[in-house]
Chains A and B, each alone.
Chain A
């Protein structure tokens, strides 16, 4: 029985010892504040190794950090600031200077109970560090947002993200606050600071923008914080001032220009009444030309056999005398001794014509016509009418004939007087006793152009009694040679001279 008890006891002893040892070791491990959760936080090549303390915080623990570069031939190195430290983190930025290498960090925990090691996994700064967040600035524009991105600084000596990675990809996320629409926008850059415009956005809407930066072999990134901005609308109040100012300026310039033109005489305003001469133009514009009332003169042709007179009168002189102005409506316009252009006139008949002229405007017009051809009375009638028609133009009362140049031979009346047929007669005597001025008589009348002058010198006419106001309302008007007194000789001679 003792033999059986013996082996049983031995086995139990063994089991018990094993069990106790295990418990003790477990207890020991719990007593030793073994660090847990060794993590590497790396951002922009700033590497911070952190860990958590063990369960029992009352036990003092000192930590020691070592590191090794895998691709180099070197051995473990101690981290400078992390020797015999009680802190729960270690900054390994300076230690991990070869960013293309891979590193292993070893954490040694020193307690009174012993040393505990904990190692980190392979860490390559080039591939594992978190890039960003970039610095983002937003400016609003109509229906778009202008984004300016600046890459963060790197905790490496004289290096930047572009120096390390050469090219970086950036992705933009645009969110609208109400609909939560996300618009990703990707591109690549090789500059530290760059800007771009996000278009096709709604007007007057609040959008929030976030930018993240990545590399081709490093996809770890920290996006920037959401920045919100409201897009502008197309109609801006501030812009209204510019068109108003420009419109005012243009109108001011136009006004100055117009005033300058007016002062310079290029633009004239109607300052006074229209002159009478131009008055008819208004009526003429709209209406059919209404000619001046015709001076209708009824002519009585008194045929006398003896004398055929041909008047030749062409007066070019101007009538500048002021006295004529009184007769402006009368014989200053006279001028006419309308000579009938009649090439057929051959007879020496004297035609005394009585002219009865009727004019609505003035009766001051006298027309004396000669018709040397009694046979062509009909023609004469027509010719007279022609003369009348021409004469009426000449005797327009409103025309300022006084000062008009007679060189303007628009309407000129010339009379060719056959001197041989000129007869002189004493007013008291009859025609039979008259004598010819010139001995010879001409059979033919050399009739020149029919021209009528607007102005005549008053002198000869006064002698011929033309100064008398011809009263067209008179029944007859006798042209009397005898009425021409002695002065008529001179007048005739004057005529002849001319």
Chain B
């Protein structure tokens, strides 16, 4: 009896493991698609940029993320990972004043989370190579830049007490982050 049930069970397990197996060679294709989806959700959250918030843009002092000299190919995955994690953290709380569409917020959050998970699977395989990294210093440099940028974002939100205008400004900025993500994804 055990033998009878064991065979189909093992087959099913084998099949499921095959289907759930992630092809890390094609991770860039998946990430690219998920980037596009997440950006769509971000744009769906709110309407056009409110005119009254135009004056508050000057309060956002962070350097343009697109101008940040980002990593080479071997550091791209780590940079993407860091950006996604930061975004997920920022968009996880204090969104009430933004008055955005709740469904779109959740879809955005889920998308980011999936991207993080899928990238982690492929990134962990490369952790062993980190010890022999030739570009270790540049990776650290990029990481610091990104960390500083998102710190500024969090500080701005906190300062503006997560107001609607602050969120709208940040939403605008995050859409530019996805352009950076897109560039980085093409490098991997």
Contact = CB atoms under 8 A, between A and B. Distances in A.
A126 B57 CA distance: 21
A122 B48 CA distance: 6
Interface string A207-239: 000000000110100000000000000000000
B179 A71 contact: no
Contacts of A180: none
Contacts of B57: 70, 72-73
Interface in A164-180: 166-167
Interface in A79-110: 100, 102, 104
A216 B32 contact: yes
Interface string B61-79: 0001010000000000000
**Interface range for A:** 10 to 19
Interface string A100-133: 1010100000000000000101101011000000
Nearest to B60: A73
Contacts, number: 45
Interface stretch (B19-27, B117-125, B153-161, B170-178): B170-178
B175 to A, nearest CB: 8
Contact of A100 (B54, B66, B173): B66
Contacts of A167: 186
A424 interface: no
Interface string B114-148: 00000000000000000000000000000000000
A121 B172 contact: no
Given A166-B186, A217-B35, A119 B51 contact: yes
A121 B176 CA distance: 17
Contacts of A71: 64, 172-173, 176
A217 B54 contact: no
B92 interface: no
B183 interface: yes
Nearest to B176: A71
B182 A70 contact: no
B39 interface: yes
A217 B176 contact: no
Interface in A121-172: 121-122, 124, 126-127, 166-167
Contact of A102 (B39, B49, B64, B183): B49
Interface in A47-79: 68, 70-73
A162 B98 CA distance: 37
Nearest to A119: B51
A97 to B, nearest CB: 15
A121 B49 CA distance: 8
Contacts of B176: 71, 100
A144 to B, nearest CB: 27
A182 B81 CA distance: 40
A216 B66 contact: no
B58 interface: yes
Contact of B36 (A119, A121, A122, A216): A216
Nearest to A117: B51
Contacts of B48: 104, 119, 121-122
Contacts of B49: 70, 102, 104, 122
Contacts of A216: 32-33, 35-36, 182, 186
A447 to B, nearest CB: 106
Contacts of A121: 47-48
Contacts of B32: 216
B36 A217 contact: yes
A356 B122 CA distance: 120
A122 B47 CA distance: 9
A122 B173 CA distance: 13
A100 B181 CA distance: 13
A344 B54 CA distance: 151
Interface string A179-208: 000000000000000000000000000000
A102 B172 contact: yes
Contacts of B39: 127, 217
Nearest to A120: B48
A125 to B, nearest CB: 12
Contacts of B35: 216-217
Contacts of A126: 179
21 contacts: A70-B49, A70-B54, A70-B57, A70-B172, A71-B172, A71-B173, A71-B176, A72-B57, A100-B66, A102-B49, A119-B48, A121-B47, A121-B48, A124-B175, A166-B183, A166-B186, A167-B186, A216-B33, A216-B36, A217-B36, A217-B39
Given A68-B54, A71-B176, A73-B57, 20 more contacts: A70-B172, A71-B64, A71-B173, A73-B58, A100-B176, A102-B49, A102-B175, A104-B49, A119-B48, A119-B51, A121-B48, A127-B39, A216-B32, A216-B33, A216-B35, A216-B36, A217-B35, A217-B36, A217-B178, A217-B179
